[in-house]
A and B are shown apart, each in its own frame.
Chain A
Amino acid sequence: MKVKDIVEKLQLTVCSGAAGLEREVKGGYVSDLLSDVMGNANEGNVWLTLQTHKNIMAIASLKELAAVILVKGYQPEEDTRNESETEGIPVLSTSLPTFEIAGALFEILKNG
């Protein structure tokens, strides 16, 4: 499954980094501690967080994540958008809380 398929199925807003919509999704990871994501997320994961600081893009790039989904209507800061464009890793947004969007993402990834 690709990032663009998730965007469509979960009705996400693409905030930045649209060039990365073809990236392959290999799972998901949920955490708001960037130190934890750095240690435990896997390549190809979609990362759900409420952190909007530009450091999320550095972590996404380091871990080669597929995309970042900001929950509860959070929007990326301007320099976060810029990093997302540069790295070609999409920042997506949903109005849903983490619990609900994680459940929905889990369902569609499970059913492949």
Chain B
Amino acid sequence: MAEFRADLHIHTVLSPCGELEMSPSNIVRIAKEKGLDIIGITDHNSTRQAKMVRDLGREHGIYVLTGAEVTTAEEAHCLAFLPDDEKLDEFQAYLDAHLPFIRNNPEKFGYQVVVNVDEEIIYEEERLLIPAINQSIEEVEKKVHSLNGIFIPAHIDKKMYSVLSQLGFIPPTLRYDALELSRHTTVADFIAANPYLKNATFIQSSDAHFPDEIGSVFTIFDIPSISFENIQKKNTLI
């Protein structure tokens, strides 16, 4: 077994709140500088920038999980990662079908663009990516798992946009692969306040919207080698 450092919650320039500096090349460069082995690309309700980061990461020895941070109907944010491009595209189609059409106002919410490795804008998303999709947390979880993906309720310690803030407690029937904590708490503190979750698998991630935040907290995966399947098996230490 070996230990790999992972920050599985990173936004790019595609997220309206993501800085323009959050381009694939900057993200990969900073991930490398911070000593990360694995990163997750999780824009709000869109996977459209993830492959670009993945391809660049591959060239520079960073393993990139491709997915999104989904806003469920309850306004609970959840991370979803898909095992291959076919499943990622299917998940993107699912997001497109369930995101309400509200036109983005870039002046107000920020630009939503996909950029290539040369930092050229190759796509602009005209639908605002922040609203809730019209699918419940269970429906999203089932979709992700039907595609053999990884489903992780995000920053569950936060007072807004987390499964705990929106639904009070984790529905006992919800099948999650891990629970994510923000950089503002620790596993020990969180479990002390929520003892019913003491047996859950936790990850901790930066939720980076700015370059400086990448890798500010991370999870150690204790796995024989880096692969989607090994990450899915969730031997994490934080």
* A→B interface (CB under 8 Å): 32-38, 51, 53-55, 58-59, 77
Residue of B nearest to A38 (CB): B168
Q: Which of A38, A51, A55 contacts B171 (CB under 8 A)?
A: A55
A-B contact pairs, 18 of them (CB 8 A): A32-B166, A33-B160, A33-B165, A34-B165, A34-B166, A34-B168, A35-B159, A35-B166, A35-B167, A36-B165, A38-B168, A51-B166, A53-B137, A53-B167, A53-B171, A54-B171, A55-B167, A55-B168
Interface size on B, residues (CB 8 A): 12
| A34-B167 contact, Cβ under 8 Å, with A51-B74, A53-B74 | yes
A-B contact count (CB 8 A): 35
Residue B101 CB within 8 A of the other chain: no
A77-B166 contact given A51-B74, A54-B171, A55-B171, CB 8 Å threshold: no
Given the known inter-chain contacts A35-B159, A35-B164, please indicate yes or no for A53 contacting B136, CB distance below 8 A: yes
Chain A positions within 8 Å of B165 at CB level? 33-36
Nearest CB in chain B: distance from A108 CB, A: 28
Contact B168 A37 (CB under 8 A): yes
Q: Mark out the residues of chain B between 158 and 182 whose CB falls within 8 Å of any chain A CB in the assembled complex.
A: 159-160, 164-169, 171
Other than the known A55-B167, A59-B168, what 20 A-B pairs have Cβ atoms closer than 8 Å?
A: A33-B160, A33-B165, A34-B166, A34-B167, A35-B164, A35-B165, A35-B166, A35-B168, A38-B168, A51-B74, A51-B167, A53-B74, A53-B136, A53-B137, A53-B167, A53-B171, A55-B168, A55-B171, A58-B168, A58-B169
Q: How far is the CA of A29 from the CA of B33 in the complex (A)?
A: 50
Complex: how many Å from CA A79 to CA B21? 45
Name the B residues within 8 Å of A34 (CB-CB): 165-169
Assembly CA distance A87 to B35 (angstroms): 52
